[in-house]
Amino acid sequence: MRSRKSLPLLPPEQARLPWHAPGLVAGVDEAGRGPLAGPVVAAAVILDDLHPIEGLNDSKKLTAARREVLYDEIRAKALCCSIAEASVEEIDRLNILQATLLAMRRAVAGLRLKPVLVLVDGNQLPVLDVQAEAIVKGDALVQAISAASILAKVTRDRWCERLHEQYPQYGFDGHKGYGTAAHLAALRQHGACVEHRRSFAPVAHVLNIARIAEPLAAARAAQAMAQGAQAPLLPA
């Protein structure tokens, strides 16, 4: 499997690489590797050359409103697409890289049509039963990867909006789970919720502080009760 670094540069316009074997090409990308909470989401997309989609680009370069519009257009016009995830439990058990590759593998497996080639954003490849190629910055170079990045990003952002309704104290609707100053402050104040990734250092730090603080607080409370019991009664 070739690395994108060893290949000549693509022209400015996004196009299928000319030396690929004919057949369906799927683009794959993920969203949610960096946040402190929630699943990592991956998407796989096979575009339809007869129904082009204007404005595809790296999802991070698009506004939220534009991503929402393109999300619906991709779902309507693509030959097929698939969205999958790896859970918080899998992230903590496997590590974030392996969980991301697992989500990508699930996304490709979920495609209704089988591609002859899978183009993956980045420099790591999931284990697949078809030819695959990693393309650094592929979400800005290959339309199918751009489409996958948009589906993954919108799906995870929507998940964060729903989580905010359940845990409004953390502000997931704003930071989307990333370790912003506001999110870290909320973690310190409220502790971690069930969707926080225990294997990530800021979350683990808060949990360790809580483990130390709880027995100390209990010991102080017991000491205060004992001292109160030993205090002499005042005469009536």
CA atoms within 13 A on the CB side of 24: 17
Please state at what angle helix 181-190 crosses helix 201-230, rounded to 10 degrees. 30
Q: Which of 31-40, 113-122, 210-219 has the lowest mean pLDDT?
A: 210-219
Mean pLDDT rounded to a whole number for the chain: 87
pLDDT tens for residues 135-161? 999 999 999 999 999 999 999 999 999
Residue 52, amino acid = P
Task: State yes or no: pLDDT of 188 exceeds 50.
Answer: yes
* N-to-C CA span, the chain: 90
Contact 136, 123 (CB under 8 A): yes
pLDDT tens for residues 82-96? 999 999 999 999 999
Predicted TM-score (pTM) above 0.85: no
Is pLDDT larger for residue 133 or for residue 20?
133
- Nearest-angstrom CA–CA distance, 50 and 38: 36
